[in-house]
Amino acid sequence: MIEKKSANESRTYQTKLVLPSDANHMGTIFGGTVLAYIDEIAGITAMRHSKSAVVTASIDTVNFVSSAKVGDILFLEASVISTGRTSMEIFVKVETEHLETGERTLTTTSILTMVAVDENKKPIPVPGVIPETEEEKRLFSEAEKRRKQRLSING
């Protein structure tokens, strides 16, 4: 059996600057750009946890809470919040920081499911996770409910 690992061992942070090419005609970042950043950091986090290649199995929730504008700095944080035999749920939080004021605002939260794979792209077992923050503990306790919901949607 594979050992459990603390969520902190694979917690990942990224920082991005919202540039004009990332924005729509209203000067706010494209949702698709935010989704690409979320998928990237979730993949990195899952790879760090599993020590293997991963694929995105699903993006279970995306909550766009507020928008980011050109010139804002995006802060992304991702952690493993639960695991199955070969899968990992990753929670990603995105905040903006206004360049001049330093004020941080939550912009997006998301939960993705990533699956660890071998060189033949076959699923492989992953370590369990030990949630650490209060948010991770809450999300961990709700994992079975989310898994059942995914299974009911996907058959």
The arithmetic mean of pLDDT across residues 103-126, rounded, is 96
Strand 4-6 with 128-130, pairing? parallel
Per-domain boundaries in the chain? 4-154
In angstroms, the CA 136 to CA 144 distance is 14
Which is higher by pLDDT, 154 or 20?
20
Comparing CA positions, the residue from 30, 9, 137, 39 lying closest to residue 82 is 137
Q: What share of the chain is helix, strand, coil (3-state, %, to 5)?
A: 30, 40, 30
Q: Which residues pair with 56 in a beta bridge?
A: 114
DSSP 72: P
What pTM was computed for the model? 0.91
Rounded average pLDDT over 47-53? 97
Residue 154 confidence (pLDDT) above 70? no
Residue 75 pLDDT level (bands cut at 50, 70, 90): very high
CATH number of 4-154: 3.10.129.10
pLDDT at 127: 96
Q: What is the mean pLDDT of the chain?
A: 92
